[in-house]
A and B are shown apart, each in its own frame.
Chain A
Amino acid sequence: MNCSNSAVEVSHIYKSFGDTRAVQDVSFSVNPGEIFGLLGPNGAGKTTTLRLILDIYRPDQGQVCVLGGAIDEHRKNHIGYLPEERGLYQDLSLERVLLYMAALKGVPKSQASQRLAEYLDFFELTQYKKKKVKEMSKGMQQKAQIIATLLHKPDLIIVDEPFSALDPVNTQMVKSLLVDLSRQGVAIIMSTHMMQQIEELCSRIVLINHGQVILYGELAEIRRQHKGHAVLVRTTNPLPDLSGVTSCTSHNAAFHIELDDVTTPQMVLNQLVLSGAEVEQFEIALPALEEIFLRVVKV
């Protein structure tokens, strides 16, 4: 198996369940230290792809490299996984469950206890460590599951909807934690439907639909590729009448101007300069990820 230095390298994988093709010819790579977005509508094949990376499923064709080689038990111990369908032993104490999870990942007890104390403190769960999991709120359980994902200091983190059940404060806390970890060189694959979080955190993405890769690459490049025929303009004085404009909407004190087929952004800029408008901002309007998502998924 030829594996590069990527944290994850998925090459032309296929997976079927009976007559259903869940994943077809999916390829992408994730670099160390990056937060990589995995997107797709429900039933697109995201979870199957993640399970193929984690060796829960074996691909019918293609290969998966993880942390520089084929996945094995040693490499698995360097992966932190927060599945979409998550849970903890409800009848056990928080501390006991988390230490058991860490032990299964090969962390010595003393080390695990020390790290656990730090994480419990970070997530403000120290006072709940002796409580049974079922006595905790959904948000607290979500934070506990994030701790279980991180406790063994993984080199690759795979998180599926990491912000669900979290309030804005805790969402922000988890986001900063993920950013910190990526800065330390940890590769993170984040699967979520919250496009805003992807735009905020991820530099690269892959979008899967019907088991196939629809979009893959740098997020900025993808947005550029999907730019519409529009410009974003902010002026200090009222906007003059412009020709070649099909619609103009105001948004956050700026104007989003849609152009007709024959009008170029340069022509609009010329009109603004000639009309004497004081231009504060002029840029090609890039679509939001959500817009692109809706556009490509609907096709």
Chain B
Amino acid sequence: MSNILLVLRHEFTTTIQRQSFVFASIGMPLLALLLFGILPAIGSRSAAAAENSSESSVMVEKRKEGFVDASGLVKKLPGSMPPEALQRYPDEASAQQALQSSQIDVYYLIPADYLKSGSIIAVWRDFNPIAAFGRTQTIQQALQFNLLNGDDRLVAQINNPLKLQTTLLEADARYDPDNPLTFFLPYTATLLFYIAILTSASLLLSSVNKDRENRMLEVLVVSSKPHELLAGKILGLGAAGLIQTAIWLGAAFILVRLRGQDIPFLKEHPITLELLVAGLLFFTLGYALYASLMASIGALVPNMREASQLSFFLVVPMLLPLLLINLIIREPNGSVAIILSLFPLTSPVTMIARLVSASVPIWQMVFSAALLVGSTYLVLRAVARVFRAQVLLSGQSFSLKRFWRVLSQPE
């Protein structure tokens, strides 16, 4: 069996058997499913049940309200209001008697100058500040109805004067900008993608360092060519990362299926097959590029501490789309979003943000993927120069001078 395959299998199996990997791959989605899928579903069912019961209790309580109209405004009650919801009393004495005999909990005195003053007196059997707020709705509704001469349509219009319909100049924008999920979904997808690529690429850095810390490098470079080691590691850890990403995407899909019925937005805009395919493609390409870069750091530094410091500079370009996420989501086909989705170091993450926010022209996706493939090839060639036995075993600290010297050496 080729050494690349052996290294691939070794890296893949040791990685997927690691507890931290298992937790991140399975535990995290399970937790997310529990937190965002199952518990809210149970919660919403309970809430629905509670709502039904509270509705009925409100109905019961509505029957316990009364009013005395000295102004003569309230001629009739709205048709939608159950007749027993609000009792009319001819005078305060009869209303008071009804209150004392617990037939009602509250009665309202509408004074003769109500139209002038707008004041109403509420008389409670006992005061409950929390319960009090909800109880004025019935009398308010009755007053509003009569102020508008009993026009139901007008009442509805005053209650909800604005039925906003947004028209976008960009015809391909996918989501309603007034919907808060328009921001939430692309942001979550972008963040998850950023984490997926970074986590998988970092596996490579930690793998090279593990070989060094376990003092295995010298034996390994005698047993296989460094470029075989590099290729095996990139492929093996990439496969592990791909599986992790696929599990995450699968969990997101299940989550959407579970909760999508409750959220009309997700119902209208499901996770499409194209989005899944594009996601896996850009994950793979982004991983290949960043993993190669991480491998060069792993080869050039003597320990994990230095590797972590140096890898921070690599992460910065990937952070850029996250920092500009508002702009990318608001203008997914704007010039900033397009440039960032074509520039190889930022394109994997930006493209996902754009794909979730809007329709992206096919030529841009193809061009972006081609640029990623090309730059990954160039980076891999450079990394092959770095990933050599002499460099791996040198144990020297990183310096730019040394980096250029290694790069300029013949293969």
Contacts and interface: CB of A to CB of B under 8 A. Distances in A.
Chains A and B form a bound pair: yes
Interface of A: 51, 54-57, 73, 76-77, 79, 81, 83, 85-92, 100-101, 103-105, 148
Nearest to B5: A103
Given A100-B6, A103-B1, A104-B6, 16 more contacts: A56-B218, A56-B222, A57-B389, A76-B222, A85-B218, A86-B215, A87-B215, A88-B214, A89-B14, A91-B14, A92-B14, A100-B10, A101-B219, A101-B223, A104-B7, A104-B223
B189 interface: no
Contacts of B224: 73, 104
Contacts of B216: 87-89
Nearest to B18: A91
B220 A104 contact: yes
A286 B214 CA distance: 44
Closest 9 CB pairs of A and B: A87-B215, A104-B223, A56-B389, A83-B218, A87-B214, A81-B222, A103-B6, A85-B215, A54-B222
22 contacts: A54-B222, A55-B222, A55-B389, A56-B222, A56-B389, A56-B393, A57-B389, A57-B390, A76-B222, A77-B223, A79-B222, A85-B215, A87-B214, A90-B214, A91-B14, A100-B10, A101-B223, A103-B6, A104-B6, A104-B7, A104-B223, A148-B219
A214 B154 CA distance: 109
Contacts of B3: 104
Contacts of A56: 218, 221-222, 389-390, 393
Contacts of B389: 55-57
A170 to B, nearest CB: 20
A91 B19 CA distance: 12
Interface in B214-267: 214-216, 218-225
A76 B393 contact: no
A101 B216 CA distance: 10
A130 B214 CA distance: 19
B6 to A, nearest CB: 5
A83 B222 CA distance: 10
Interface in B387-405: 389-390, 393
A251 B289 CA distance: 70
Most B-side CB within 10 Å, residue of A77, A101, A103: A103
A21 to B, nearest CB: 16
Nearest to A57: B390
A73 B215 contact: no
A101 B221 CA distance: 11
Interface in B1-16: 1, 3, 6-7, 10, 14
Contact of B225 (A57, A73, A86): A73
A290 B207 CA distance: 43
Contact of A83 (B7, B219, B390): B219
A91 B18 CA distance: 10
Given A56-B389, A100-B10, A105 B218 contact: no
B223 A89 contact: no
B372 to A, nearest CB: 32
A90 B222 CA distance: 20
B219 A81 contact: yes
A262 to B, nearest CB: 55
Nearest to A158: B222
Contacts of B7: 104
Given A56-B389, A56-B390, A57-B389, A76 B214 contact: no
Contacts of A92: 14
Nearest to A89: B214
Nearest to B1: A103
A104 B215 CA distance: 16
Contacts of B219: 81, 83, 86, 101, 148
A56 B220 CA distance: 10
Interface in B366-410: 389-390, 393
Nearest to B229: A104
B389 to A, nearest CB: 4
Most A-side CB within 10 Å, residue of B215, B225, B389, B393: B215
A56 B219 CA distance: 10
Nearest to B214: A87
Contacts of A54: 222
A86 B222 CA distance: 13
A93 to B, nearest CB: 11
A90 B211 CA distance: 10
A57 B221 CA distance: 11
Contacts of B225: 73
Most B-side CB within 10 Å, residue of A56, A73, A89, A105: A56
A62 B221 CA distance: 22
Most A-side CB within 10 Å, residue of B1, B222, B393: B222
A79 B218 CA distance: 13
A86 to B, nearest CB: 6
Contacts of B221: 56
A81 B223 CA distance: 9
B385 to A, nearest CB: 14
Contacts of A104: 3, 6-7, 220, 223-224
B92 to A, nearest CB: 84
B396 to A, nearest CB: 10
A91 B210 CA distance: 10
Contacts of A55: 222, 389
B408 to A, nearest CB: 15
B399 to A, nearest CB: 13
B216 to A, nearest CB: 6
Nearest to A90: B214
A87 B223 CA distance: 14
A3 to B, nearest CB: 20
Nearest to B223: A104
B223 A76 contact: yes
A51 B388 CA distance: 13
Contacts of A86: 215, 218-219
Nearest to A109: B1
